[in-house]
Copies of this chain bind each other. A is one copy, B any other.
Amino acid sequence: MKDFIYSEISGKLAHLIKTEVLKAGERLPSVRMLCQEHGISMNTAKRVFLELEAQSLIESKPQSGYFVSRTAYRRLPLPAVSKPSTLPKHKEPADLIDRVYANMGNDKLTLFSVGAAVGSLLPQARLSKEIVHATRELKGAGANYENPQGNEKLRRMVAARALTWGGNLQEHELVTTSGGLNAIAYCLMALGKPGDTVAIESPCYPGILQLALSLGLKVLELPTHPETGILMEALKKALPKIDICLLVSNFNTPLGSCMPDENKQEAVRLLSSHGIPLIEDDVYGDLYFGTHRPKCCKAFDTEGNVLLCSSLSKTLAPGYRVGWVAPGRYKEKIMKQKLVHTIAGSSITQEAAANFLKSARYDNHLRHLRKTLQYNYRQYVDAIAEFFPEGTRTSRPQGGLALWVEFDKSIDAVELYELAMKQKISIAPGRMFTLQDQFNHCMRLCYGLPWTDDLQLKLKKTGKPCKDDKEITFINMQ
Contacts and interface: CB of A to CB of B under 8 A. Distances in A.
Interface of A: 101, 104-105, 116, 119, 122-125, 127-128, 131-132, 135-136, 138-148, 178-179, 181-182, 185, 189, 193-194, 207, 210-211, 214, 216, 313, 316-321, 336-337, 339-349
Contact of A140 (B124, B148, B348): B124
Contacts of A342: 178-179, 181-182, 185, 321
A340 B211 contact: yes
Among A214, A319, A343, find the residue whose CB has the most chain B CB atoms closer than 10 A: A319
Nearest to A134: B131
Contacts of A124: 139-143
A210 B131 CA distance: 34
B140 A125 contact: yes
Given A135-B131, A143-B119, A321-B342, A337 B193 contact: no
A105 B147 contact: yes
B181 A316 contact: no
A127 B105 contact: no
Total copies of this chain within the assembly: 2
Contacts of A136: 128
A433 B35 CA distance: 74
A344 B147 CA distance: 21
B116 A143 contact: no
A346 to B, nearest CB: 5
Contacts of A101: 148, 339
A341 B186 CA distance: 9
Contact of A319 (B119, B125, B128, B142): B142
A143 B141 CA distance: 21
A438 to B, nearest CB: 22
A112 B441 CA distance: 62
A207 B140 contact: no
Given A119-B140, A131-B135, A145 B211 contact: no
Contact of A128 (B140, B148, B182): B140
A157 B214 CA distance: 31
Contacts of A122: 140, 143-144
Contact of A189 (B105, B132, B146, B214): B214
A96 to B, nearest CB: 14
Contact of A341 (B119, B131, B141, B182): B182
Contact of A214 (B142, B178, B181, B340): B340
B135 A319 contact: no
Among A122, A143, A319, find the residue whose CB has the most chain B CB atoms closer than 10 A: A143
Contacts of A343: 179, 181, 207
Nearest to A321: B346
Contacts of A141: 119, 124, 319
A344 B321 contact: yes
